[in-house]
Amino acid sequence: MKVVVQRVSESNVKVDGAAIGSIEKGLMLLVGIHEEDTEEKLDWMCRKILNLRIFEDEQQKMNRSVEDVGGAILVIPQFTLYGDAEKGNRPSFIEAAGPGHARDLYKKMIQQLKQGNVQVESGKFGAHMDVSLVNDGPVTIILER
């Protein structure tokens, strides 16, 4: 599993021009599911995301989590994170999980993140989405398990 975590001051996702998810201060996640990903990896990733201390405290040190600051999370599925362009010019997505497995883990991720003390919004699995964000910092962390 690969997740690009971006600290944002705002982010939203649209499908066919209609907003389906929107947050203010928080985290925007681009989530790639690998064919060999398990629920154990998902559990680790959700705990890491909820506890990741990338928000500043009173001393301007990154020492607070998204829960600590009352932030929100926008979760976007993105199988292209497993695109391999090592050979040729067209990426191969052979390592990305198939739609069934990826959809199941994506839905479970949303449910697990909702168990935290945060608002959770999401994109639409399998849809063409327009994602907007204002990266705060910028702060971008790549998590892989």
pLDDT tens track for 71-122: 999 999 999 999 999 999 999 999 999 999 999 999 999 999 999 999 999 9
Over range 3-26, report the average pLDDT.
Answer: 98
Give 10's pLDDT tier (boundaries 50, 70, 90): very high
Residue ranges per structural domain of the chain: 2-144
CB contact burial 7-27 (16+ within 10 A = b; e otherwise)? bbebbbbbeeeeeebebebbb
Architecture of domain 2-144: 3-Layer(bba) Sandwich (3.50)
Q: In whole angstroms, give the CA distance from residue 45 to residue 136.
A: 22
pLDDT digits (tens, 9 = 90+) for 52-81: 999 999 999 999 999 999 999 999 999 999
Share of the chain above pLDDT 90, in %: 100
Question: How high does pLDDT run on average in the chain?
Answer: 97
- For the residues of 56-100, what is the DSSP string, one character each? E-TTS-EEE-TTTTT-EEEEEE-GGGG-B-SSSSS-B-TTBPPHH
Q: Known catalytic residues?
A: 78-80
- pTM beyond 0.85: the answer is yes
- Joined tokens for residue 37: 């990903």
pLDDT for 100: 96
